Structure 1
Amino acid sequence: MTGDKAGTVHDLRVGGRPLAPLLRARAPHLSRRVLAQMLSELPTYAQLPQEEVAGDIADIVQRSVRLFADVLERRRPADDAALTRQRESAAQRAEEGVPLDAILTAYHLGVAMIAEELTADARPGDLADVLEMQRHLLRTQRQLTSAVSGAYLEARQLIDSQEQGGRHALMAALLAGEPVPDRSGHHGALRPADRYVTLALFLAPHPDERERDRTPGTPGAPGTPGTPGSAIAARRKVRRVRAVLDRYAGQPVMTDLDATGGTALVPVATPPPWEELHQLIADCAESAGAPITAAATTTDPADPAAIPAAVTQNTDIVQLALRTGRRPGLYRLADVLLEYQLSRPGAARTELALLLAPLDHKPVLLKTLETYIHRDLDRTTTASALHVHPNTVAYRVRRITELTGLSPHRPTDLQHLNAALLARRCGP
């Protein structure tokens, strides 16, 4: 009941008993029931140390039950100071890695059990008091949700920034070839892994990055490239690649990625099979919604020079795969041995490239030569690819031989022509 003729305010009552004193009296027993239900329904809490469950967790449960009793007695919202202990508890759980959804579920479970406890003996005449009680419980639940979430996220943000700073420092040291001591900071962020899969990645644009933003008022009309929409698509693509790498490693992976790609150091205990890494890149591409060309090497951080050398070599391999028109996917040095060797500066590469100097100002003949060799010296398929008659292909091949002195139909000349084309692609 809410009042009488004299204007006095009565306690909220159900079954003839005032709710606030009833809840305080039952707080110890009810708190034990709530705690038992949490351990039964929420595996995260069941995995906490028994000492913590019987101490901190039991204490915050009982404090929260008594908080609801105070709210029902005063019949007004809890003030900010009354939620201090719940905020502190949420920050502690954040440091322990307890998920926020588990914490909020625990509070919601407790509120439901309080409501059930207080309305067990309700009678039809108690409807007004029951409804007011529910309003107070739900309002306090909203206050707790807000306070606990805010404290948890603030603590988590601080922890994440510390861990991220540690990962950045560690990655910078590894990429610079600096020795990294086997030590850890407060959150273990500076401990190097036993091994890393060093990845160089090229991320092709997602279709949404190419898609121009629509201008308001003109449905379907394109805007300009590089608009906020394409930038968001690029960030989403990178975030999805990181998520796949994190899942594979079972922990946050050190990355230096932008919309076009970059470097990732994936911690592993033992060198993974090449087929497994192939699948990892395929999974990254599928999640990103964009083709990915990558190169990988397993490295040991105990050798400070290993990771910088692997990054340089992998980057070269990716660039060669792109330059020579290879399909997206994962590559290693063995896949591009000839191209890699020809990409090294030297007199031999220069001389090879000069073999095709007579075709420098004849792009049609160069294109024909590349296509003809790529199509295994087949005039018909070459003609189809170039949209010309097979006789035109034959004429152009004769002109190439006349100008260079090399014929693709002589095995030795074919090797030189192919190497010369590679030297031109791989050179400056």
Structure 2
Amino acid sequence: MTAPNAELAAPEPQFGGTPVHLRLLALAPALAAEVAARLLDRLPAHHALPPEQLRGEITRQVERCVRAFVDVMRTGRPPGEDDLARIRESSARRADEGVPLESVVGAYHLGAQLCAARLLAEAAPADLPDIATAQDRLLGYLRVVSCAVAAGYVQERQAALGDEQVARQALLSRLLEGGDPRAAADRAGIRLPDRYVVLALAIGPHPDESRPGVNRSVAARRKLRRLRAELERSRPDGVPLAALAADGGTVLLPTSGPLDRDTLTALVERLGRACGAPLVAGATSAPPSAVADAARLAAEVRQLATATGRGGGLHLLDDVLLAYQLSRPGPAREALASLLAPLTDRPELLDTLRAFLACGLDRRRTAARLLVHPNTVDYRLRRTTHLTGLDTVRGPDLLTLHAALTALDTTGT
């Protein structure tokens, strides 16, 4: 039976009869200085670090890594837990400083590359088997170290993102509550904009959410993740704030100018394509101090657009002015809605009336929308007139029917 680490029992590689680790040990001080210098030449992200940090912590970490590489060459064993812990800690500090992950990983690969180049320069053709052994140990070293670098970096970024998200959600809550948001904005590191565009979103289901064999909650999370990613890409004026669930929520978009319908329409279309689900969005804008009222208005606009059958996409208050006014609580709304009480047990009559009004009083278009014969439309409209006393072809009665249907559909919105 082969021992688990039998491959580590291979003899230490030698070049010209001298163990490789001894050659590396002799070169270690010069290699550490060279790697630190090359970091600036080949990895521009390190230019942002303070010079004393490059001379101090970074150089010391390079020296430790060179010595760890020396031990790998000598023993054939990967770096120990103490070395890997230091690598994870160093990587976490680079994450906190904003150095990109590819630059952090690249620094270790650059160091290994320079070490290998120095060693191979002293190798001869007769050392080919030892070169292969050294190469194998080099790759094993990079594999373990790269994993440690990624682990330290990702852990730090997750912690930072968690803190950042908590601070952003606190700011969003403050804005939606109507309190003074300045302290919360300072804690989140966000400069409050002149105004916010407030979007109230209703998000329909993605096809995967009803597909057999697919985890519905996973499909919903993926839908939201894609939507949030598109929001992050569409933030020319600052950091968007969002409270979203699978079926919708509120989004605040910083802006320095007036609400632009064309721009918002394009954004809602992109969000819909990104998440792969139908969207209905009510929108308005307000300064930070008035976001709470604006959010309520945007939600009402979205609800009214849905209740009155306006379809998906972007909707502003101007689009639902009549419905908005008719939906205000009061005796007039209740009286209007009661005009259609005789139809509440005849949903086909209500649906036909809605379609007839939406199709501009065109009975053939209404029939096509309802998938019925035009004569069926005529019959249902006559029944509506008989039951309500309101004639669907008489001007004043049509206005009353439209208002009554709007009041009925918006009751409780």
Deviations 1:343-395 (A, max 9, x none): 11111111212222333333333333222222222233333334444344334
Q: 1:193 corresponds to which residue?
A: 192
Q: 1:212 corresponds to which residue?
A: 212
8 Å CA contact 2:185, 2:192 repeated in 1? no
1:423 and 2:410 aligned: no
Q: 2:219 corresponds to which residue?
A: 233
8 Å CA contact 1:206, 1:233 repeated in 2? yes
CA distance 1:43–1:336, shift in 2 (3 Å): farther
Q: 1:381 corresponds to which residue?
A: 365
Identify which of 238, 246, 260 aligns with 1:273: 260
TM-score by length of 1: 0.84
Letter in 2 for 1:385: R
Distance (whole Å) between structure 2 residues aligned to residue 273 and residue 384 of structure 1: 35
CA distance 1:173–1:354, shift in 2 (3 Å): same
Letter in 1 for 2:203: L
CA distance 1:377–1:12, shift in 2 (3 Å): closer
8 Å CA contact 1:182, 1:192 repeated in 2? no
TM-superposed deviation, 1:150: 2.1
Which range is displaced more, 149-158 or 325-334?
149-158
Distance (whole Å) between structure 2 residues aligned to residue 23 and residue 131 of structure 1: 17
CA distance 1:26–1:230, shift in 2 (3 Å): same
Counting only pairs closer than 5 Å after superposition, residues 103-182 of structure 1 correspond to structure 2 as 103-182=104-183
CA distance 1:390–1:271, shift in 2 (3 Å): closer
1:289 and 2:276 aligned: yes
Q: 2:340 corresponds to which residue?
A: 356
Q: 1:368 corresponds to which residue?
A: 352
CA distance 1:10–1:322, shift in 2 (3 Å): closer
Q: 2:4 corresponds to which residue?
A: none
- Extract unaligned runs of 5+ from structure 2: 1-9
Distance (whole Å) between structure 2 residues aligned to residue 138 and residue 294 of structure 1: 53
RMSD: 2.7
Letter in 2 for 1:212: P
Counting only pairs closer than 5 Å after superposition, residues 34-113 of structure 1 correspond to structure 2 as 34-113=35-114
- Extract unaligned runs of 5+ from structure 1: 1-8, 214-227
SS at match of 2:306: helix
8 Å CA contact 2:279, 2:312 repeated in 1? yes
SS at match of 2:234: helix
TM-superposed deviation, 1:17: 4.2
CA distance 1:326–1:116, shift in 2 (3 Å): same
8 Å CA contact 2:196, 2:286 repeated in 1? yes
8 Å CA contact 1:27, 1:65 repeated in 2? yes
Q: Higher helix fraction: Structure 1 or Structure 2?
A: 2
TM-superposed deviation, 1:118: 0.6
Deviations 1:73-120 (A, max 9, x none): 444333222334322211111111222232112212321222122112
Letter in 2 for 1:20: H
Letter in 2 for 1:189: A
Deviations 1:184-206 (A, max 9, x none): 67xx5254522432221111100
TM-superposed deviation, 1:36: 4.7
Distance (whole Å) between structure 2 residues aligned to residue 83 and residue 372 of structure 1: 72
CA distance 1:376–1:119, shift in 2 (3 Å): same
Q: 1:248 corresponds to which residue?
A: 234
TM-superposed deviation, 1:278: 1.7
8 Å CA contact 2:239, 2:254 repeated in 1? no
CA distance 1:381–1:79, shift in 2 (3 Å): closer
8 Å CA contact 1:242, 1:253 repeated in 2? no
CA distance 1:183–1:319, shift in 2 (3 Å): closer
Distance (whole Å) between structure 2 residues aligned to residue 233 and residue 109 of structure 1: 41
Letter in 1 for 2:93: Q
Distance (whole Å) between structure 2 residues aligned to residue 386 and residue 69 of structure 1: 79
CA distance 1:95–1:309, shift in 2 (3 Å): same
Percent identity at matched positions?
A: 44
8 Å CA contact 2:283, 2:301 repeated in 1? no
SS at match of 1:312: helix
1:260 and 2:255 aligned: no
Aligned length: 401
Q: 1:320 corresponds to which residue?
A: 304
8 Å CA contact 1:365, 1:400 repeated in 2? yes
Q: 1:332 corresponds to which residue?
A: 316
Distance (whole Å) between structure 2 residues aligned to residue 271 and residue 49 of structure 1: 42
Distance (whole Å) between structure 1 residues aligned to residue 155 and residue 33 of structure 2: 30
Which range is displaced more, 26-35 or 152-161?
26-35
Letter in 1 for 2:111: G
Distance (whole Å) between structure 2 residues aligned to residue 55 and residue 130 of structure 1: 33
CA distance 1:364–1:153, shift in 2 (3 Å): closer
8 Å CA contact 1:196, 1:300 repeated in 2? yes
Deviations 1:50-88 (A, max 9, x none): 444444333323332232123324443332223343222
CA distance 1:408–1:427, shift in 2 (3 Å): same
8 Å CA contact 1:170, 1:190 repeated in 2? no
Distance (whole Å) between structure 2 residues aligned to residue 184 and residue 21 of structure 1: 57
